Homo-oligomer: A and B are copies of this chain.
């Protein structure tokens, strides 16, 4: 179920680098190099497929930009928060910083 902005911001409080922007949450990650950035995407892709919830994400060299939303609910749901938490955990393990 679609969450309110207040609920979302509460969830994002302990997820550094994630921001709410209208009906989506965003994060920009910076890695050491391309191989580290793509290692993150590979691990993230496996988790996204496992959760059956997929990001919109882009990559240029050592940077990865992620946007999460739940299209069929027209906003951010707990599935987005769950995926954001999973992504942040992987990113931390791979030494990413957030912008």
- Of the stretches A3-11, A50-58, A83-91, the one at the interface is A50-58
Interface centre among A42, A57, A60 (most CB of B within 10 A): A60
Q: Indicate which residue in B41, B55, B56, B60 contacts A56 across the interface (CB closer than 8 Å).
A: B60
In the complex, which residues of chain B have a beta carbon less than 8 angstroms from the beta carbon of A58? 56-59
Smallest CB-CB separation from A42: which chain B residue?
B42
A41-B41, A42-B42 known; A54 and B49 CB under 8 Å? Answer: no
A54 touching B61 by the CB < 8 A rule?
A: yes
Does A45 reach chain B (CB closer than 8 Å)?
A: yes
Closest chain B CB from A69 CB (angstroms): 11
Can you name 21 A-B residue pairings with CB atoms under 8 Å?
A34-B45, A34-B48, A34-B49, A34-B54, A35-B49, A38-B41, A38-B42, A38-B45, A38-B49, A41-B41, A42-B42, A54-B60, A54-B61, A55-B59, A55-B60, A56-B59, A56-B60, A57-B58, A57-B59, A58-B58, A58-B59
